[in-house]
């Protein structure tokens, strides 16, 4: 693959916009940003306005393309299907996310993740959301598999991390000790707190041991109170990276605005997407429960939220239109910031990084997608 030059659109580099500039790529990597009048020879892709940005990064995708991670017998195929489905939605880099399941299935998914490295486009590693959560805040996670971490779990996770580009782990202080968090952190695991009914002091102890963030703020966690700040208070006041589901359902717009004022640049966006992502499915099965898709939400038959019916481009428009964020602020929360959380070489337009790109129309709808310079089919959006 020779030199390819992208021109005709505003560039967003992960932090700021560039006007009148062109992006130069070669062999699937970014080479330079240059004035459009000085762009070199090569294949010219002239875009008709809009914004060219780094490929979007999603650190919490439980499923997509009709499958859930860990639901079947072939987790490597599930990883490939999920990554492809989200690439079509603009997320060129994702962490396929395994919700709470058995120890045996967790090991199978970890092994599949290691096998996916270098073979599956868009695969940045794995996110295990459980099983070491708090039975008081299970959400839709199967309670029979929630359990404290033991030495075998710890060794399995540390060993898997050595074979993965990134391993993110959501845990609750009720099921892990500060010493275990410290050991995981030393091994390179990115530890987040979530599905936890913990006190502020317990969250702070986990932070001091090495925990780096909080999973889907406000959901399935101890709330901010006048005398006990809980995990929400810890997320908003301690130096913790914080994931937010920006759909107006998981967190009310007014609450999200307040959280953004407090967390600032520590906040990033996730979709918490499920099997329906990139499909027209109206329902699916999750750990023996029927999940219904209606009115922009996914719920169990008893009304409990079960992930989100959301894409990052939809979240981008919500942040701009409903939360009043600037396009630069909103785009940073789905490019450079999540990439930084896991140490991924992605999420920015910078020389030497992969040419993972998305093009938005003037109304912030996804128009085109490239992974390592190769055009991918973008999923047409209807909302």
Phi-psi region of 28 (alpha: psi -120 to 50; beta: other; left: phi over 0): left
Q: Find all residues with CB under 8 Å of 32, minimum gap 6, and list them.
A: 23, 24, 351
Among 13, 58, 272, 356, the one annotated catalytic = 272
Positive or negative, the Cα torsion across 34, 38, 42, 45? positive
What's the CA gap between 360 and 380, in Å, rounded?
12
Which neighbouring-strand residues pair with 376? 369
Active site residue 272: yes
E strand or H helix at 113: helix 103-116
Question: Rounded to whole angstroms, how far apart are CA atoms 100 and 70?
Answer: 10
Rounded to 5°, the CA angle 346-349-351 comes to 95
**What would the two tokens of residue 205 be?**
């102890």
DSSP assignment of 46-98, as one string?
E--SSEEEEPPEEEEE-EETTEETTSSS-HHHHHHHHHHHHHHTT--EEEEEE
Contacts of 131 (CB under 8 A, 6+ apart): 100, 101, 103, 106, 141, 145, 146, 147
DSSP 139-162: TTS-GGG-----HHHHHHHHHHHH
Q: Strand 21-26 to strand 63-64: parallel, antiparallel, or no bridges (unpaired)?
A: unpaired
Contact yes or no for 370/357 (Cβ under 8 A): yes
As given in the structure block, the two tokens for residue 27 are 């062999």
Helix (H) or strand (E) segment spanning residue 171: strand 167-171
Q: Which residues are catalytic?
A: 272
């Amino acid at each position: 693959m020779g030199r390819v030059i992208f021109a005709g659109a505003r560039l967003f580099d992960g932090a700021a916009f560039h006007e009148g500039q062109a992006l130069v790529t070669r062999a699937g990597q970014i080479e330079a940003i240059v004035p459009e009048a000085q762009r070199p020879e090569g294949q010219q892709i002239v875009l008709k306005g809009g914004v060219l940005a780094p490929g979007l990064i999603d650190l919490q995708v439980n499923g997509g393309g009709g499958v859930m991670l860990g639901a079947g017998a072939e987790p490597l195929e599930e990883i490939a299907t999920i990554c492809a489905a989200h690439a079509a939605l603009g997320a060129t880099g994702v962490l396929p996310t395994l919700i709470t399941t058995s120890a045996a299935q967790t090991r199978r998914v970890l092994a599949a993740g290691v096998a996916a490295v270098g073979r599956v486009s868009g695969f940045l590693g794995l996110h295990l959301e459980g099983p070491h959560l708090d039975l008081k805040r299970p959400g839709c996670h199967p309670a029979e598999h929630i359990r404290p971490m033991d030495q075998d779990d710890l060794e399995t996770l540390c060993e898997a991390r050595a074979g993965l580009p990134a391993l993110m782990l959501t845990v609750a202080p009720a099921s892990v000790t500060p010493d275990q968090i410290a050991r995981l952190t030393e091994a390179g695991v990115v530890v987040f707190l979530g599905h936890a009914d913990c006190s502020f002091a317990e969250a702070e102890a986990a932070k001091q041991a090495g925990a780096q963030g909080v999973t889907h703020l406000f959901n399935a966690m101890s709330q901010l109170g006048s005398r006990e700040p809980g995990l929400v208070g810890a997320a908003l006041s301690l130096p913790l990276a914080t994931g937010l589901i920006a759909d107006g359902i998981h967190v009310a717009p007014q609450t999200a605005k307040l959280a953004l004022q407090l967390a600032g640049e520590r906040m990033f966006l996730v979709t918490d997407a499920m099997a329906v992502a990139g499909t027209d499915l109206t329902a699916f099965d999750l750990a023996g429960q029927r999940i219904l898709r209606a009115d922009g939400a996914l719920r169990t038959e008893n009304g409990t939220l079960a992930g989100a019916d959301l894409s990052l481009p939809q979240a981008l428009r919500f942040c701009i239109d409903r939360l009043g964020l600037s396009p630069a602020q909103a785009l940073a929360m789905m490019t450079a910031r999540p990439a930084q959380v896991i140490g991924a070489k992605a999420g920015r337009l910078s020389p030497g990084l992969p040419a993972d790109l998305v093009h938005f129309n003037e109304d912030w709808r996804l128009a085109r997608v490239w992974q390592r310079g190769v055009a991918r089919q973008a999923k047409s959006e209807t909302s």
